[in-house]
Amino acid sequence: MNVLEIRGLGVDYLSGSGAVHAVSGVSLDLRRGEILGLAGESGSGKSTLANAVARLLRPPASITSGSVVYRRQDGSAVDVLALGGNELRAFRWKELAVVFQSAMNSLNPVITVGAQIDDVLRVHAPRMSRNERTERSVELLQRVGISADRRRSYPHELSGGMRQRAAIAIALALNPEIIIMDEPTTALDVVVQRDILAEIRALREEYGFAVVFITHDLSLLMEISDRIAIMYAGRVVETGTAKALHRAPRHPYTLGLLRSFPRLRGPREELPGIPGVPPDLRSPPPGCAFHPRCAMAVAECSESLPVLRTEADGEVACLLNDGRGVS
């Protein structure tokens, strides 16, 4: 059932003043064909987690522990962290594609959109003829609602929404099993955002890929996701189906997020539903990292680190929790 299994993953950023534990002990499953939402404030480690899975981390970031296993449709397992050279290149995009936050920045500004699809095909499907590749590029662009003649356009000649659609078309090029979408709609206005979300859902129905959808906008995730994982200070604090999370959040942080009206991207700011700011990850608070901001914290919260416990349709890492939800 699972297409991706993350176990005990840890990522550190090494800096002069000590290691920043951006991701610690994260275990997460991605099921075949599902949309998994990944939410949290900026700095919670969600993008770092995604980049670790796609093997896109660069120094000073490095994976310190854990494993990432990719399961093919035939059941065979691939140790993603051990891939190197050509295997890694093949894994990227054939099995796993990424749509980045801002298509303005993720599309090469000096190459046409068509050529940016074409070079994926040329590398990964060397048997395709030039004409076949062109046909495929046109087909992909049309599938995401871009007319064929736009193939010759440069990114700056497209609107923001069109660029993001083009980025999705590039992601679809090789029919990957997994697409990681890192804040794919954050830079867009609300109407365009709706269109793109609808498009993603329709494409998922058609092609059956699984999506890791990253955003700090929990209400948006509620709409699009099958399941949601909430991250805080580099750890997963709660997972559950979108419905369950919405109806009965079990972690006080999830509750706070639900009560906050998220701003469009901006600096780390206090969320109205949660006082204080995220902790310094060089020296996170002892015990549950959330306890200094938690209205429900008890003495024990500052002493022992809660583990992620499996509950009915979900998991939660909170000492208070007895499985009935906090609200």
Q: Which residue ranges make up the site for another protein (CB under 8 A)?
A: 52, 54-63, 81, 84, 88-94, 97-98, 100-102, 105-111, 119-120, 123-124, 154, 156-157, 170
Nearer to another protein, 181 or 228 (CB): 181
Nearer to another protein, 156 or 309 (CB): 156
Length of the chain: 327
Tokens describing residue 34: 């599902």
CB of 103 to another protein, least distance (A): 9
3-class DSSP state for residue 271?
A: strand
Nearer to another protein, 89 or 309 (CB): 89
CB of 159 to another protein, least distance (A): 14
Nearer to another protein, 82 or 264 (CB): 82
CB of 172 to another protein, least distance (A): 12
Nearer to another protein, 75 or 266 (CB): 266
CB of 127 to another protein, least distance (A): 16
CB of 219 to another protein, least distance (A): 26
Question: What are the CA-CA distances from residue 56 to residues 47, 62, 87, 96, 98 (Å)?
Answer: 11, 10, 15, 12, 10
Nearer to another protein, 61 or 214 (CB): 61
Q: Quick one: CA torsion of 114, 116, 117, 121, rounded to 10 degrees?
A: 120
Nearer to another protein, 80 or 274 (CB): 80
DSSP string, 95-149: TEEEE-S-HHHHS-TTS-HHHHHHHHHHHH-TTS-HHHHHHHHHHHHHHTT--GG
State the residue for tokens 């939410």: 39
- Give the distance, in angstroms, between the CA of residue 61 and the centroid of all CA atoms in the same chain: 18
CB of 119 to another protein, least distance (A): 6
Number of CB atoms found within 10 A of residue 150's CB: 18
Sorted by sequence, the CB contacts under 8 Å of residue 11 that are 6+ apart come out as: 21, 22, 23, 45, 48, 49, 52, 57, 61, 62, 63, 64, 234
- Give the distance, in angstroms, between the CA of residue 217 and the centroid of all CA atoms in the same chain: 12
Number of CB atoms found within 10 A of residue 59's CB: 7
Nearer to another protein, 157 or 189 (CB): 157
CB of 199 to another protein, least distance (A): 19
- Give the distance, in angstroms, between the CA of residue 221 and the centroid of all CA atoms in the same chain: 11
- Give the distance, in angstroms, between the CA of residue 174 and the centroid of all CA atoms in the same chain: 19
CB of 281 to another protein, least distance (A): 18
